[in-house]
């Protein structure tokens, strides 16, 4: 039973790290801007968060470091894709390369240097003593609790508010919004920056609340899995939660398989999440499915007033 609880509690940790990036990217893609550079931004969030805690010995300030990094990279990406209207696939891959390189470069001095500081679990009085559910859901770190609020809030925002309606219109028909007097460019800047900031927080989550160390390329494709989850979830944050939990579960279960069947090499087990992502992506988006997927119509198409 304790193993069962431990597996599920860790599943939530892994899922949360991916969900920050996924939710952020859902907003950016709904606004019509795809960002394939999540992996690089996540790494930058992870390294600046870790460097932050080394320098300031404060988790709050470390998180601010990561947020600031996310905002900066968001501004850069929005400048490329919204203002300069560059190709979003290339720009995303450029952000990935740059983020991977820069994070490895500035993080070199702290590779496998222990920070001795991490977001610790906070048991919520009362709720955490509920059998089974308590220790799984309510004995987590603060960033997990924040995610509990982000999911319903983002659902409410996207599907129930006027701003959410405008957001979805932004990705479907920006020209109509422009004609109605809204500033398409400013709105897209906002959502891209939000997406990048969330992604950077997801990265900081990994280095400060999950693995508690920094190493080059430590996100191990979580940024890409977040991109896959956005498509899998059809841009719905709640569906993304199930995807992230499935993914987190498989990653964690792998570690336990090794405890039960010691002969299985760790590398083979490590393949499971990636194989799962491929399978899920094919099964959930393959054209053999009857269900139609509503891709935001103007995704990857830069908005240009002159060509309206």
Partner 1 sequence: MDKKRLVMVRRDKLPMYLRILNPIIFLIVALAFSGIFIIMQGFNPVTVYIKMFGEAFGSASGLSASIVMGIPLMMCGLGVSIAFKMNLNNIGAEGQFAMGAMASTGFILFGPKLPGALQIPMMIIIATATGAAWALIAAIAKAYWNVNETIITLMMNYVALLLLNYLCYGPWKDGSGLNLPYTKKIPATAYMSNLGGTGISIGFIIAIVAAVIMYWFFNYTTAGFQISVIKNSMNAARYAGINVKKNIMTVLLLSGALSGMTGAIQVCGSIHRLQPTISNNAGFTAIVIAYLSKFNPLVVILVSIFFGGLAKGSFTVQTQGVPAQIATMIQGSILIFILVGEIFIKYRFARVGQHESINKAE
In whole angstroms, the minimum distance from the beta carbon of 128 to partner 1 comes to 35
87 closest CA partner among 140, 29, 34, 142:
34
In whole angstroms, the minimum distance from the beta carbon of 42 to partner 1 comes to 14
Residue 216 in the binding site for partner 1 (CB under 8 A):
yes
Site string for partner 1, 247-266 (x = CB under 8 A): ------------------x-
Residue 186 in the binding site for partner 1 (CB under 8 A):
no
What distance lies between CA 74 and its chain's CA centroid? Answer: 14
Residue 90 in the binding site for partner 1 (CB under 8 A):
yes
Q: Within 206-271, where are the H helices?
A: 222-232, 237-260, 266-270
Residues in 48-87 at the binding interface with partner 1, rule: CB under 8 A: 76, 80, 84-87
Residue 227 in the binding site for partner 1 (CB under 8 A):
yes
Residue 120 in the binding site for partner 1 (CB under 8 A):
no
Give 119's contacts (C-beta < 8 A, 6+ positions apart): 59, 141, 142, 143, 205, 208, 209
Residue 287 in the binding site for partner 1 (CB under 8 A):
yes
Nearer to partner 1, 123 or 283 (CB): 283
Please calculate the CA angle 119-120-124 and round it to the nearest 5 degrees.
Answer: 120
Q: Determine the interface stretch with partner 1 among 4-12, 112-120, 187-195, 224-232 (rule: CB under 8 A).
A: 224-232
Q: Determine the interface stretch with partner 1 among 20-28, 199-207, 226-234, 237-245 (rule: CB under 8 A).
A: 226-234
Instruction: Give dist(CA 6, CA 121) in Å, integer.
Output: 13
Angle between the N-to-C axes of helices 2-30 and 162-172, in degrees from 0 to 180, rounded to the nearest 10: 70
Calculate the dihedral angle through the C-alpha atoms of 147, 230, 213, 12, rounding to the nearest 10 degrees.
50
In whole angstroms, the minimum distance from the beta carbon of 18 to partner 1 comes to 14
198 closest CA partner among 170, 217, 223, 167:
223
Q: Determine the interface stretch with partner 1 among 97-105, 127-135, 162-170, 194-202 (rule: CB under 8 A).
A: 97-105
The residue count for binding partner 1 (CB under 8 A) is 50
Residue 296 in the binding site for partner 1 (CB under 8 A):
no
Nearer to partner 1, 84 or 132 (CB): 84
Given 68, 98, 157, 182, the residue binding partner 1 (CB under 8 A): 98
Alpha-carbon torsion (3, 117, 112, 95), positive or negative: positive
* Three-state DSSP state, 286: coil
Nearer to partner 1, 153 or 294 (CB): 294
Q: Determine the interface stretch with partner 1 among 20-28, 206-214, 247-255, 285-293 (rule: CB under 8 A).
A: 285-293
Site string for partner 1, 7-36 (x = CB under 8 A): -----------------------------x
Q: What is the DSSP letter of 140?
A: E
Give 177's contacts (C-beta < 8 A, 6+ positions apart): 166, 169, 170, 184, 187
219 closest CA partner among 9, 11, 17, 8:
17
Q: Which residues are near partner 1 by CB under 8 A?
A: 36, 40, 76, 80, 84-87, 89-91, 93-106, 108-109, 216, 220-221, 224, 227-228, 231, 265, 267-268, 270-271, 274-275, 277-278, 281-282, 285-288, 306
């Amino acid at each position: 039973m304790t193993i069962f609880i431990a597996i599920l509690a860790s599943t939530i940790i892994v899922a949360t790290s991916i969900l920050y990036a996924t939710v952020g990217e859902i907003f950016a893609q709904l606004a019509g801007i795809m960002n394939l550079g999540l992996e690089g931004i996540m790494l930058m969030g992870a390294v600046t968060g870790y460097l932050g805690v080394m320098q300031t010995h404060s988790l709050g300030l470390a998180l601010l470091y990561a947020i600031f990094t996310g905002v900066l990279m968001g501004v850069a990406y929005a400048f490329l894709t919204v203002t300069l209207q560059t190709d979003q696939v290339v720009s995303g891959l450029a952000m990935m390369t740059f983020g991977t390189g820069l994070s490895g470069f500035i993080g070199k001095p702290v590779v496998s240097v222990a920070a001795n500081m991490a977001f610790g679990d906070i048991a919520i009085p009362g709720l955490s003593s509920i059998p089974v559910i308590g220790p799984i859901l309510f004995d987590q770190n603060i960033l997990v609790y924040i995610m509990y609020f982000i999911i319903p809030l983002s659902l409410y925002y996207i599907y129930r508010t006027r701003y959410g309606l405008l957001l979805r219109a932004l990705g479907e028909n920006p020209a109509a919004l422009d004609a109605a007097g809204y500033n398409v460019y400013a709105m897209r800047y906002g959502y891209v920056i939000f997406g990048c900031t969330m992604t950077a927080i997801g990265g900081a989550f990994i280095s400060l609340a999950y693995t508690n160390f920094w190493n080059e390329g430590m996100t191990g494709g979580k940024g890409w899995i977040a991109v896959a989850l956005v498509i899998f979830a059809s841009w719905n944050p709640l569906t993304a939660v199930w995807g992230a939990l499935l993914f987190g579960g498989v990653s964690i279960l792998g570690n336990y398989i090794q405890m039960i069947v010691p002969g299985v090499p760790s590398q083979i087990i490590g393949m499971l999440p990636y194989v799962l992502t491929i399978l899920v992506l094919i099964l959930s988006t393959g054209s053999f499915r009857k269900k139609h997927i509503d891709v935001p119509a103007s995704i990857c198409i830069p908005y240009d007033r002159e060509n309206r």
